[in-house]
């Protein structure tokens, strides 16, 4: 456990030094500010209230779930896997006392930490912004649950990117393939809605299930299990490839 903790701290330290983290935070903050200005202007100049106080944070979540969150998650995952293999820095980690499984899980946990951090940052910022748009106090409970739920599909996407990073040789191909996969899954979702239960991208807005007066718990459970299945499968496959990958 000590070794695992050390691997995790090491990985967190490594990504904290990356400029991409700063970029992710800047872009996330900018997105929230721009959206707040748009919503505020629409209300003041056109009289149309796009969102109420609670809905602003949810609207930000909906938009960023399809843009900033998966994009920067892709960058971080590729850097941590394909990037380190490409510039051979992975040697330092793998030649240490930690086994490959611990290194792999440490990296996966770091990615999860990054996603959580990004979500928390956006949530706090959007809640503050929503106070300026509407003077009503937002429903914090629903917002927090929504952001927690939004973590799962983004994390599944991160695992797919990790899998791709362990297959491809370079970072560019890993990035292109990840974006391609994201678009294909979203495209399939639109063209064949009948198979969307199999597509993790259809769950990107599953937090809407808890927003209404009627909460369909069985549906929430089914989606949770689908995402859990994806998670176990992708971690197993990702680890298998990571283990086999030559330095």
Contact indicator for 90, 176 with CB cutoff of 8 Å = no
Options 10, 43, 113, 173; binder of another protein; rule CB under 8 A: 43
195 binds another protein (CB under 8 A): yes
The verdict on 48 binding another protein (CB under 8 A) reads: yes
Contact status: 37 vs another protein (CB under 8 A) = no
User: Minimal CA–CA distance to 238: which of 136, 168, 153, 173?
Assistant: 168
Instruction: Give least dist CB 229 to another protein, A.
Output: 3
Q: Select from 141, 169, 229, 247 the one that contacts another protein (CB under 8 A).
A: 229
Residue choice 51, 65, 73, 171 for contact with another protein (CB under 8 A)? 51
C-alpha distances (whole Å) from 2 to each of 9, 97, 170 are 10, 11, 32
The DSSP-derived string for 74-119 is HHHHHIIIIIHHHTTTHHHHHTSSS-HHHHHHHHHHHHHHHHHHHH
CB 8 within 8 Å of CB 103 = no
Q: At what angle do helices 100-133 and 53-65 cross, to 10 degrees?
A: 140
| Residue 10 lies near another protein (rule: CB under 8 A) | no
Among 34, 37, 137, 228, binds another protein (CB under 8 A): 228
Q: Quick check: 41 binds another protein (CB under 8 A)?
A: no
- In whole angstroms, give the CA distance from residue 123 to residue 61: 8
Total residues at the site for another protein (CB under 8 A)?
Answer: 56
**208 touches another protein (CB under 8 A):** yes
Angle 37-213-116 (CA atoms, 0-180°, nearest 5)?
Answer: 55
Span of 13-21, 121-129, 171-179, 193-201 interacting with another protein by CB under 8 A: 193-201
- Residue with smaller CB distance to another protein, 42 or 116: 42
Minimal distance in Å, beta carbon 96 to another protein? Answer: 19
The CA distances from residue 26 to 22, 34, 38, 158, in Å, are 6, 12, 18, 20
Q: How far is the CB of 27 from another protein (least distance, A)?
A: 20
Write down the least CB distance from residue 175 to another protein, Å: 25
CA 223 to each of CA 14, 156, 196, 220: distance values in angstroms, whole numbers, following the listed order: 33, 12, 11, 5
Query: Rounded to an integer, what distance in angstroms lies between the CA atom of residue 95 and that of residue 21?
Result: 26
Q: Is 142 in the site for another protein (CB under 8 A)?
A: yes
Q: Is 165 in the site for another protein (CB under 8 A)?
A: no
Residues that bind another protein (CB under 8 A): 42-44, 46-52, 54-55, 58-59, 62, 101, 139, 142, 189-191, 193-195, 197-198, 202, 205-209, 211-214, 216, 218-219, 222-223, 225-226, 228-237, 239-240, 243
């Amino acid at each position: 456990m000590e070794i695992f903790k050390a691997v995790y701290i090491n990985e967190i330290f490594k990504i904290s030094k990356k400029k991409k983290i700063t970029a992710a935070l800047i872009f996330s903050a900018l997105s929230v500010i721009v959206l707040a200005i748009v919503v505020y202007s629409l209300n003041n100049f056109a009289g149309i209230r796009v969102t109420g106080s609670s809905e602003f944070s949810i609207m930000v979540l909906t938009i960023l779930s399809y843009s900033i969150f998966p994009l920067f998650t892709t960058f971080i995952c590729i850097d941590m896997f394909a990037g380190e293999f490409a510039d051979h820095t992975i040697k330092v980690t793998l030649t240490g006392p930690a086994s490959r499984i611990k290194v792999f899980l440490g990296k996966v946990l770091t990615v999860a930490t990054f996603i959580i951090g990004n979500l928390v940052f956006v949530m706090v910022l959007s809640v503050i912004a929503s106070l300026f748009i509407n003077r009503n106090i937002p429903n914090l409970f629903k917002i927090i649950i929504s952001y927690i739920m939004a973590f799962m599909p983004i994390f599944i996407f991160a695992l797919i990117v990790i899998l791709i990073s362990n297959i491809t040789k370079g970072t560019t191909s890993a990035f292109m393939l990840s974006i391609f996969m994201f678009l294909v899954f979203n495209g399939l979702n639109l063209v064949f809605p009948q198979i969307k239960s199999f597509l993790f991208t259809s769950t990107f807005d599953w937090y809407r299930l808890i927003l209404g007066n009627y909460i369909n718990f069985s549906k929430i459970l089914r989606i949770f299990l689908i995402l859990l299945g994806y998670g176990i499968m992708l971690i197993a496959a990702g680890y298998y490839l990571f283990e086999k990958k030559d330095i």
